[in-house]
Amino acid sequence: MGRRPFRCYRYQKNKPYIKSRYCRGVPESKIRIYDVGAKKAPVDLFPFVAHLVCDEKQQISSEALEACRIAINKHLVNTVGKDAYHIRVRVHPYHVIRANKMLSCAGADRLSSGMRHSYGKPIGVAARVDIGQVLLSVRGKDASEPHIIEAIRRGKFKFAGRQKILKSLKWGFTKYEREDYVRMRKNGELAADGNIVKVHNRRGALEKSALFLAGQE
């Protein structure tokens, strides 16, 4: 018996069922890499960010997440180059999917027990997603915007249901809008910390404070 089509598992019908000491023998997730591209690029380098947002309450398999990641990565490598973007998959497949294995050979009715003891064995994992939940985000330069949107559109075909592509008003993967980000970076309230920013905590000696020296306090 082959794998079941994922329409059997698309909807969230049961409670979350995760890998534990009671639920053993769970196959590994197909997606192992959640950040692809120039993930160490400084926060100031990639101001543009677009999100793929789920529009349905459903389950997405780890295979579909991996297929989407590969499709987006392939398009961006061919169009903008491998160091000009950063993809981050924002959902993780923790929900274990079960199947009650049935025999389909000759004389199976003598061997199989039908629906007796029909609690299934783990066959894979999926992510439980909600309406309005961000599935993945891609940041890059403003010039790369059409290529990023097209890459996400191509990746969208790997998922069942409806998704929307949204252009964010924020700067990269930060929580600050563009105008606020530029202003706060100039006056020293924010400091770059890899691909994110740190907020000045207003502690410490005044002579060492970037805010105080800039006349902000």
Give the confidence band of 9 by pLDDT, cuts at 50, 70, 90: very high
| Average of per-residue pLDDT values in the chain | 90
Q: What is the pLDDT, as a whole number, of residue 186?
A: 86
pLDDT tens sequence across 40-56: 999 999 999 999 999 99
Q: What is the pLDDT, as a whole number, of residue 208?
A: 72
Q: What angle separates helix 62-79 from helix 145-156, to the nearest 10 degrees? A: 150
Q: What is the pLDDT, as a whole number, of residue 135?
A: 96
Q: What is the pLDDT, as a whole number, of residue 217?
A: 56
DSSP state of 7: G
Q: What number of other Cβ atoms are within 10 A of residue 204's Cβ?
A: 10
Q: What is the model's pTM? A: 0.89
Of the candidates 10, 39, 45, 30, the residue with the CA atom closest to the CA atom of residue 137: 39
Give the confidence band of 74 by pLDDT, cuts at 50, 70, 90: very high
Instruction: Give bridge partners of residue 98 from the DSSP assignment.
Output: 122
pLDDT tens sequence across 151-199: 999 999 999 999 999 999 999 999 999 999 999 888 888 888 888 898 8
Give the confidence band of 200 by pLDDT, cuts at 50, 70, 90: confident
Give the confidence band of 108 by pLDDT, cuts at 50, 70, 90: low
Q: What is the pLDDT, as a whole number, of residue 148?
A: 96
Q: What is the pLDDT, as a whole number, of residue 216?
A: 63
Q: In this structure, what token pair is assigned to residue 206?
A: 């005044």
Q: Kindly tell me if the per-residue pLDDT of 107 is higher than 70.
A: no
Residue 91 and residue 133 in contact, taking contact as beta carbons nearer than 8 Å: yes
Mean pLDDT value across residues 12-31: 94
Mean pLDDT value across residues 192-216: 78
Q: Kindly tell me if the per-residue pLDDT of 36 is higher than 80.
A: yes
Residue 53 and residue 133 in contact, taking contact as beta carbons nearer than 8 Å: yes
Determine which of 58-72, 152-166, 169-183, 203-217 has the lowest per-residue pLDDT on average: 203-217
* Percent residues over pLDDT 90 in the chain: 72
Which has more confidence, 54 or 112?
54
**In whole angstroms, what is the distance from residue 40 CA to residue 42 CA?**
6
